[in-house]
A and B are shown apart, each in its own frame.
Chain A
Amino acid sequence: MINAFLQLAQVGTGATLVQTLLKSFALGSVYVLIALGFVIIFKATQVLNFAAGALSMAGAMFMTILISDGGLPLLPFGNPLAPAEGETASVVLFFVNVLIALALAALLGLVIERLAIRPMVGQPLFAMAVITLGIEIAIRPFNLDATALEGRRLGVPWGASSWNWGDAVVPKSYIVAVIIAAIAGAGVLLFFRTKLGVAMRAVAFDQEAAMAQGINVGRVFAIAWAMGTALAALGAIVYGMAPFPPGGSVSQEIHPLLALRVLPVIVLGGLDSVAGAIYGGLIIATAEVFAGQYLSQWNSTLGSGYSTIVPYLVMLFMLLVKPYGLFGTPEIRRV
């Protein structure tokens, strides 16, 4: 480690450091979005959502269908807000389409909650987790069938372009990612101060006592699933923007694994903590990006493998010293 820092001082220029930091925040933003989705569902409903991967990717698929097919999924009429054939949407139109995709993702979350989760309420934690795994498996083929092998374009108006800040190259997508995550994170924190958000926290704390107050727990569950699915979808959409690895599209290879890479974030932050999702996302992404940038320069045995391994090392370390995560609630049983 000390060597790595020496390397940093010698090899790493200021510009590299700035770029690496920014990349950390951008990747962290993606992790934060998906982790928030997971945490909200777990906090409100005590369900470990192993369908987060397929659900987030489905949300990104909605986006590509809206933008490139110019049609709404399963509906006969076209998307009036889609760009003309062969053209790229304007920035405003792009974000309008993002909002529609998120609404569709939220709807998907509502349907899943109603059909697969609500009837099983009261079952053991483990059974519920297995059900979400079933949902993951059921949705995956839709994602893969709908994705062409080379990926489906997300139609990001700014593509892979970047700004230059001094010597540092700053991809526009990275800045967009950070802004989106900041807005979403602030939105979630504000939501928890509203009537419904307070009710959701009450349900999370003591479901029966919440029912006794007249809080409609079913409605709270439905909202948690809608929010959780939409946040996961937003993460997958942002991740589709170049220069994130999928390179401007929804990727058959990279996107399905995204949620798995958020696992260390959730373990680090705590399964039921919003603050944990935010800090955890940023810490894990920073560890991952810095390991990829600097450790591989210091010792090339693993090459880019360092960035894959480091998040799990952080997670293992966390499980040893603080099994409930930085901000998690200790009573929570693990499966």
Chain B
Amino acid sequence: MLEVANLEVVYNEVILVLRGLSVQVPDGQIVALLGSNGAGKTTTARAITGLLDVHEGKVTKGSVTWNGAEIGEQLPAKIVESGISQVMEGRRIFGELTVDENLSCGAFTNRANMNANYERVMDLFPQLKERNTQVAGYLSGGEQQMLAIGRALMAEPKLLILDEPSLGLAPMLIEQIRDIIVDINKQGVSVLLIEQNAMMALSIADFGYVMESGKVVMDGPAQKLLNDEDVQEFYLGLHGDGGERKSFRDVKHYKRRKRWLS
């Protein structure tokens, strides 16, 4: 189980981005982390996977524990070895390398089971099999996302963090990626699914968190969030009463209050 508790992250020693964030990913579940642009979702992923350093970011408070062990200060390689892999926002495949070479990079920490993991990835993504010797930069957006997911799976993670996998993909491809995430989860991998596309994420998640300005403003079982008016209005693009859309600030304010009351 992954447990992020009261996490505070600061960039460049002054920009406070996460303000006491708490999120849990129980074993075997899909947990959705929703929020609009700039809410701090990617920062959360960086804090879990040891990539804050690259961005001059630091954890100033709180903790990240993985199966009971604190992993907040560890190097990215150690975290991958401990069973957490990330599919970064924007896919970030190695465009000059072939598909196979990309997958080989994903297996950097797990050479022993490379062949078995390679087979598993190829079973999940038959498209990649046909193009395994092609330079990855020439793949389509959907194929690149599949490669990014496959590359992360080569490390044989227990927890997979996906940062906006639906970004920039056509609806049909989003559905395909969604089904694949479900398949991966069925194979016993816990998933932290970071999304702006709340509909997609909540449709497969067990539990969801909505974050805003660096903290969780709402959480609950996915089904409950799907039925929530605010979530519907702001993340699902549905207008309950068909009336005038409330200003974002009003609702945010209301949410905060609601949070205090609850």
| Residues of A participating in the B interface, judged by any CB pair closer than 8 Å | 122, 195, 198-199, 201-202, 205-216
* CB contact under 8 A between A213 and B108, given known A198-B97, A205-B94, A208-B92: yes
- Is the CB–CB distance between A215 and B101 below 8 Å? no
Q: How far is the CA of A211 from the CA of B199 in the complex (A)?
A: 31
- Is the CB–CB distance between B76 and A206 below 8 Å? no
- Is the CB–CB distance between A215 and B77 below 8 Å? yes
Report A215 CB to chain B, min CB distance, Å: 5
Q: How far is the CA of A156 from the CA of B260 in the complex (A)?
A: 83
**Out of B50, B94, B109, which one reaches A202, CB within 8 Å?**
B94
**Out of B76, B95, B96, B101, which one reaches A212, CB within 8 Å?**
B76
Task: For A198, list chain B residues within 8 Å (CB).
Answer: 97, 101, 104-105
Ranked nearest first, the 7 interchain pairs of A and B with the lowest CB-CB distance are A214-B80, A214-B109, A209-B92, A214-B77, A211-B76, A202-B105, A205-B94
Most buried by A among B50, B101, B106: B101
Apart from the given pairs A208-B51, A213-B109, A214-B81, 15 other A-B contacts in the complex at a CB distance below 8 Å:
A198-B101, A201-B101, A202-B94, A202-B101, A208-B92, A209-B94, A211-B50, A212-B51, A212-B86, A212-B88, A213-B105, A213-B151, A214-B77, A215-B108, A216-B75
Most buried by A among B49, B79, B96: B96
B14 at the interface (CB under 8 A from A): no
Q: How far is the CA of A165 from the CA of B214 in the complex (A)?
A: 77
- Is the CB–CB distance between A211 and B151 below 8 Å? no
- Is the CB–CB distance between B92 and A202 below 8 Å? no
**Out of B94, B102, B155, which one reaches A214, CB within 8 Å?**
B155
- Is the CB–CB distance between B77 and A209 below 8 Å? no
How many contacts A-B (CB < 8 Å)? Answer: 70
Chain A, interface SS category: helix
Task: For A206, list chain B residues within 8 Å (CB).
Answer: 92, 94
Report A87 CB to chain B, min CB distance, Å: 48
**Out of B79, B88, B96, B151, which one reaches A201, CB within 8 Å?**
B96
B69 at the interface (CB under 8 A from A): no
Report B98 CB to chain A, min CB distance, Å: 9
- Is the CB–CB distance between B76 and A195 below 8 Å? no
- Is the CB–CB distance between B76 and A214 below 8 Å? yes
* CB contact under 8 A between A212 and B94, given known A198-B101, A199-B105: no
B261 at the interface (CB under 8 A from A): no
Task: For B239, list chain A residues within 8 Å (CB).
Answer: none
Most buried by B among A195, A199, A202, A214: A214
Q: How far is the CA of A215 from the CA of B85 in the complex (A)?
A: 12
Task: For A215, list chain B residues within 8 Å (CB).
Answer: 77, 105, 108
Task: For A207, list chain B residues within 8 Å (CB).
Answer: 54
* CB contact under 8 A between A209 and B111, given known A195-B104, A216-B77: no
Report A216 CB to chain B, min CB distance, Å: 5
Report B229 CB to chain A, min CB distance, Å: 37
- Is the CB–CB distance between A213 and B106 below 8 Å? yes
Task: For A214, list chain B residues within 8 Å (CB).
Answer: 76-77, 79-81, 108-109, 155
- Is the CB–CB distance between A195 and B108 below 8 Å? yes
Task: For A199, list chain B residues within 8 Å (CB).
Answer: 105, 108
Task: For B79, list chain A residues within 8 Å (CB).
Answer: 214
Task: For B151, list chain A residues within 8 Å (CB).
Answer: 213
Q: How far is the CA of A47 from the CA of B95 in the complex (A)?
A: 21
Q: How far is the CA of A215 from the CA of B77 in the complex (A)?
A: 6
**Out of A195, A202, A208, A213, which one reaches B54, CB within 8 Å?**
A208
Most buried by B among A195, A206, A210, A212: A212
